[in-house]
Structure 1
């Protein structure tokens, strides 16, 4: 994916607050997705090509990550960016309209790459050959690099606007309106992925934003299941 065919206007560069609930959420999710795609590329590169169980673990994790990111982009496109636009002063709206259209187009290109990864994963599962495994590992490596560049630029360009103009009330409304096709187990895995490298402040914010039932489920079964999931996938427990 490149931005060669897109002209991207730059938003205002005036100083913005560093922290907001929306930015904190974006930050921990971005951090988790970056880490997991890098790890997935590394793990796939030396996995046995014909071990069906190992292939299922790795391709299953790729599928989960792809669905998380596709869902994240849908929430941004349908809820977050419109809410941000509504909060902008009139003087900012013309430039922001083009900026948000650019990011929607760029995220759509990344979504195509994520869907292509699912096809490559299925080909490995069926073929069980070194060539198919290597194709999957290369696809993960390309995605890890593309995602890192995409998210880094999004954080530079759009997070200052979120911090400056999206109110906590608007962010709460976005969070409540967002939908998911993740199962309960997958949602708890996402909590674990997001918490793993988060700083203490972001961990507290993330936990406070969860529904009470989800917080209880995380304490009772989620933390233990996440650890077992990571050990199975990586061969080592999570960092924290």
Structure 2
């Protein structure tokens, strides 16, 4: 896409330096992987197997919460800043992102509504319908994530200050429990670029980064073995 002329008020404070937005694609690897696998997990629940149904439902509830959490932070801290600064001809891109969020959120609501019945493991029709919803969610989510990475992140990189970008990560950490935060780090680490993942931990002292990486890897391994039956889903 050709970048149109911007007024001085919308230029990055230092036009020779772009904000490093590589953390976002690293986070997105988690959502792409787990939503791609989610429909199959639901279809694999046997009638009457409430233990397995509870494991899968718990995993889906975690994914739903993590995705909602991720989008809420963007809605609060990213879109308003961009809408206030990008040239008018680029604003429709931001509105596209918001409309995609709404579509994804509507599907997440359907998933959330189905989880109590899924836990009963007594309704094959509900399982099939939920699996189809998850497959549809995956398609729409990938469309959104691809558009965000290709069209919006370059704008954010030249429009936001480093402090404004860092505020997204700080909000994510502040709003997560320690347990969920470690699992999320493990989710990002598993398929994410190692260099980009290391930069996500750059705020922490070296010994703490070492501990966090090991703890996150263990948290993901335990979760993946319970949910997927393998440490490398």
* Residue 150 (structure 1) aligns with: 144
Q: Evaluate the alpha carbon distance shift between residue 100 and residue 219 of structure 1 in structure 2; reply closer, same or farther with a 3 A threshold.
A: closer
The equivalent position to 1:190 in structure 2, one of 175, 184, 187, is 184
Q: CA RMSD in A?
A: 2.9
Which TM-score applies when normalising by structure 1?
0.80
| Contact kept in structure 2, 1:28 and 1:202, CA below 8 Å | yes
The equivalent position to 1:31 in structure 2, one of 22, 25, 29, is 29
The equivalent position to 2:223 in structure 1, one of 220, 224, 229, is 229
| Contact kept in structure 2, 1:11 and 1:157, CA below 8 Å | no
After TM superposition, give the deviation of residue 222 of structure 1 in Å. 3.6
Q: Which blocks of at least 5 consecutive residues in structure 2 are unaligned?
A: 6-14
| Contact kept in structure 2, 1:120 and 1:135, CA below 8 Å | no
| 2:164 counterpart of 1:170 | yes
Which TM-score applies when normalising by structure 2?
0.82
Distance in 1, Cα, partners of 2:231 & 2:172: 31
After TM superposition, give the deviation of residue 99 of structure 1 in Å. 2.9
* Residue 208 (structure 1) aligns with: 202
After TM superposition, give the deviation of residue 161 of structure 1 in Å. 0.5
Q: Which blocks of at least 5 consecutive residues in structure 1 are unaligned?
A: 1-9
Distance in 2, Cα, partners of 1:123 & 1:70: 21
| Contact kept in structure 2, 1:45 and 1:133, CA below 8 Å | yes
* Residue 114 (structure 2) aligns with: 120
The count of aligned residue pairs is 223
After TM superposition, give the deviation of residue 218 of structure 1 in Å. 2.9
After TM superposition, give the deviation of residue 210 of structure 1 in Å. 5.6
Distance in 2, Cα, partners of 1:138 & 1:36: 15
| 2:107 counterpart of 1:83 | no
Give a deviation string over 1:177-231, Cα, whole Å, max 9, x none: 4576543211111100011011221121122246889747635644323211111
After TM superposition, give the deviation of residue 127 of structure 1 in Å. 5.3
* Residue 138 (structure 1) aligns with: 132
